[in-house]
Amino acid sequence: MSNYLIELSIIHIILILGYWFFLRKERQYAKMRFYLLGSTLLALIIPLIKLPKLFSSDEPMYALPLEAMSLEAVPLASPNDASPWGYDSLALLYIAVSVFFLLKFLGSILYLAYLERKSSLMRFDDLLIRKTLHIKGSFTFFNWIFLGDEIDQNRQDYKVMLNHEKAHALMGHTYDLMFLELFKICFWGLPTTWFVLKEIKKIHEYQADAYALKWCTIDQYSSILISSTLKSNGLGLASSFHDGLILKRLKAMKQQAKNVSPWKLGALSALCALLFVVFACSESANLESQEIGSGNNKTGGEVFTVVEEPPVFEGGMDAFYKYVRNEINYPLQARKMGVEGRVDVQFVVEKDGSLTGVETIRGIGAGCDLEAVRVVQDAPSFKPGKQRGKAVRVQMVMPIVFKLNKVSTNVDNSAQGIIVIEKAETNQGRLKVDARYANGEWSGTVYSPEGEKLPGTNIVVAGTTTGTVADLEGNFSLKTDASHDLHVSFVGYESVRLQAK
């Protein structure tokens, strides 16, 4: 969820900056309106789309379980020592503000329904007008056009005002406001949210002004606009002739609209495409693993996937364990909920020693998975692994065990915790594989000895350097010749050899 919010924020800010530089001073209001709404919609959708990377490296990735490691248990500070402004508190504060905006939104809806019931219906040409004592001026909500009782139909500006409000109804401006108000409820902390909402209201008035000018001259319309009540009804969901942007509206009416330069539209289109490629086309394909120096045990014994020179942390692996021990914390949420167990963190040591693809392939939730990933993501670079003297990408797995000391409890019934980074023991059980071979392709699902689907399992074609890795659901597929068997292995378990029949 946090990744989605971050990506949404980045996309929305970049797209609205594009509007600021290229479209803000234009007069093609339909295009400007379309871009603002489309940018907000794209920011919502793009982070949800996960397509395979358009450009992927042909370099092999070597799968390697992290070497045996064990640290002394580290007792953590009492929850009473935690900062009162932690992640949970900030999240609750954000939700509280969102609820406030939601209640305000619903209150506006109810008030508009109240005005509709208290209004008297009348017809003017092809329009249905609702007159009420409870407002001053005029405004539009969907196809409802409300007028205050002080507005006399014999007034000179009556028909002009109605044509302005009619434009709001015909152009569906209320739909824009409803969508952006709901967006504001969810993402009120995003500065561009408020900018878009303010900008779209301004564009609505410009569009309605242009429509109303079909029935009068600019001078007549300007005079009517200046002499109007110019009082807002305070309804964020309504569009109104009586808006405070008088000077800007008068200036916009007198300026001749010009077509937006094609290069600006091209630049914005390229920007949208670039963001789509960067954020949507980012899902890694199944990682290929290569069996290097593995045992070729015909009886189905253990199979190790190692490289000639494995990655090493600066200062040695003991220094890496010390770093993890000093940095990791037992999440307060997990301690309060009594959550404990093992988290397996998988990551890739790149050819430059940096760590990428950090994720949990087995987790326990309650913040423990996120904490384990955070610590590994923040770790300094490794010395890269090497195969035949060349730096290669190496996949590693680190088990972290979260345990609770339930004897020592606090008044809030949350236990103190200890964290152990322990050795990944072998022979803890034999993997279970539900697989089949048909039409030159293996496919199946890998399970732990306890029957749980096991993501991140290495599947290697015996006697070759071809393989794959099970996905998040433990599923895999791999094309191979019928004469070749498969080795299925995962750190901490007895591997399995599959034979095609």
pLDDT tens for the chain, residues 1 to 501 = 667 888 999 999 999 999 999 999 898 999 999 999 999 999 999 988 877 655 554 444 444 444 433 333 333 344 444 455 556 788 899 999 999 999 999 999 999 999 989 899 888 777 778 988 888 778 899 888 998 887 877 777 788 888 888 999 999 999 999 999 999 999 999 999 999 999 999 999 899 988 988 888 887 887 777 766 444 444 555 555 555 566 677 777 777 667 889 999 999 999 999 999 888 776 544 433 333 333 333 333 333 344 567 788 887 777 887 888 788 888 888 888 878 788 888 888 888 888 888 888 778 878 888 888 888 888 888 888 776 677 777 777 778 877 776 554 443 444 455 555 543 333 346 778 888 888 888 888 988 877 888 887 888 887 676 788 888 888 988 887 766 778 887 765 667 788 766
Structural domain contains residue 391: yes
Structural domain contains residue 190: yes
Q: What CATH number is attached to the domain comprising 416? A: 3.30.1150
Q: Are 453 and 445 in contact (CB under 8 A)?
A: yes
Structural domain contains residue 9: no
Verify that 339 and 392 share a domain, yes or no.
Answer: yes
Q: Which class for 126: exposed (0-12), middle (13-18), buried (19 or more C-beta within 10 A)?
A: exposed
Verify that 121 and 248 share a domain, yes or no.
Answer: yes
Residue 97: the pLDDT is 95
Verify that 216 and 143 share a domain, yes or no.
Answer: yes
| pTM, 2 dp | 0.55
Structural domain contains residue 220: yes
DSSP annotation string for 150-202:
T--TTSTTHHHHHHHHHHHHHTTHHHHHHHHHHHHHH-TT-HHHHHHHHHHHH
Verify that 165 and 231 share a domain, yes or no.
Answer: yes
Collapsed DSSP state (helix, strand, coil) of residue 343: strand
Q: Are 426 and 302 in contact (CB under 8 A)?
A: yes
Residue 108: the pLDDT is 93
Verify that 100 and 146 share a domain, yes or no.
Answer: yes
Structural domain contains residue 22: no
Verify that 359 and 459 share a domain, yes or no.
Answer: no
For residue 451, the enclosing domain spans 432-498
Verify that 481 and 412 share a domain, yes or no.
Answer: no
For residue 239, give the H/E element and its range: none
Of 418, 415, 420, the residue nearest 78 (C-alpha) = 415
Verify that 138 and 208 share a domain, yes or no.
Answer: yes
Q: What is the DSSP letter of 286?
A: P
Structural domain contains residue 38: no
Verify that 451 and 464 share a domain, yes or no.
Answer: yes
Which of residues 254, 275, 295 is at a domain's end?
254
278/271 Cα distance (integer angstroms): 11
Tell me how many domains the chain contains: 3
List all residues 6 or more positions away from 247 whose beta carbon is below 8 Å from its beta carbon. Answer: none
- What token pair was written down for 227? 């002499």
Q: What CATH number is attached to the domain comprising 437? A: 2.60.40
Structural domain contains residue 49: no
Q: Are 175 and 181 in contact (CB under 8 A)?
A: no
Which of residues 388, 420, 452 is at a domain's end?
420
Verify that 97 and 241 share a domain, yes or no.
Answer: yes
Of 353, 374, 378, the residue nearest 363 (C-alpha) = 374
Which of residues 222, 238, 254 is at a domain's end?
254
Structural domain contains residue 6: no
260/264 Cα distance (integer angstroms): 7
Collapsed DSSP state (helix, strand, coil) of residue 479: strand
317/339 Cα distance (integer angstroms): 28
Tell me the Cα Rg of the chain. Answer: 32
Verify that 117 and 206 share a domain, yes or no.
Answer: yes
Verify that 245 and 107 share a domain, yes or no.
Answer: yes
- What token pair was written down for 402? 């979260």
Residue 123: the pLDDT is 80
